[in-house]
Chains A and B, each alone.
Chain A
């Protein structure tokens, strides 16, 4: 399908665009999760809370890394 002259839009391009948008959404959700975990830990202060904080930060960094790779690819 050639909507813009010289640019052919195919299924892969559309899916790829949607994946990129979803990746950014997950990145935003992961930073919200980090914040939420921190608030939860404040309300209910359990000894394991610090490890969970590291886990959520780890997930955020992982998703950041993956999102950057996908966006640049």
Chain B
């Protein structure tokens, strides 16, 4: 890092042409700018955030720019939110269960507290899993971060230049209505990881918002990576 900073200072002092300064940094092309400018949401909780503000990930290189940060579509959380809502009202009808009717007052209060503690835990856990299971598209790499449960994580990284094929699928009414789907990328070295059970590839971005645009961005980056002097 010190060496690169020193080199940069030297280049600025010598007023070298721009091409020598940007040794490894690829400038964002007009096509990429156009693809990222429209349609995506820019919020922190958004399912597809272009150029996220104040965002860094582990092993991010200094000259690497995050172009797109995504996660599962917000609608995919409906299942656990609905379950939580139902579970929340169950203690109100506990008098109907003969087993619980037989308990004394103090024990019933303890059971109710345990129930709500469990619900809060489940809700927080589901939210964290959704929030931190992200996919990151940078100008150089694709990063797929998968946390499974409390104690395991899998981080898949692939160079853009190694992506061979990109396609996406949308299945179901919700996916069509809310415009989300799976983006599947085939890389040159197709290695299976524990998180890929049931997935088409190690690089499957599941239930991502705007799959067409995400696939478009990756295709464009792959195309540009194949033409380094462009």
Interface residues of A (CB under 8 A from B): 11-12, 15-16, 19-20, 22-23, 26, 29-30, 32-33, 36-37, 39-48, 52, 55-56, 59, 62-63, 66, 70, 73
Contact = CB atoms under 8 A, between A and B. Distances in A.
Contact of A45 (B56, B110, B153): B56
A12 to B, nearest CB: 4
B134 A44 contact: yes
A19 B110 contact: yes
Contacts of B103: 11-12, 15
Contacts of B151: 32, 36
Contact of A44 (B104, B111, B145): B145
Interface of B: 44, 52-58, 102-104, 106-107, 110-111, 113-114, 117-118, 120-121, 124-125, 128, 131-132, 134, 136, 145, 147, 150-151, 153, 155
B54 to A, nearest CB: 5
Contact of B110 (A16, A36, A52, A59): A16
A73 B117 contact: no
A27 B65 CA distance: 40
Mostly helix, strand, loop or mixed at chain B's interface?
Answer: mixed
B134 A26 contact: no
Mostly helix, strand, loop or mixed at chain A's interface?
Answer: helix
A62 B55 CA distance: 30
B54 A47 contact: yes
Given A33-B150, A45-B58, A46-B131, 12 more contacts: A22-B114, A26-B121, A37-B128, A40-B132, A44-B132, A44-B136, A45-B55, A52-B128, A52-B131, A56-B124, A62-B117, A62-B120
B71 to A, nearest CB: 10
Contact of A47 (B55, B125, B155): B55
Contacts of A59: 120-121, 124
Contact of B118 (A20, A26, A32): A26
Given A12-B107, A22-B114, A30-B121, A44 B57 contact: yes
Given A23-B114, A30-B121, A36-B150, A47 B53 contact: yes
B128 A16 contact: no
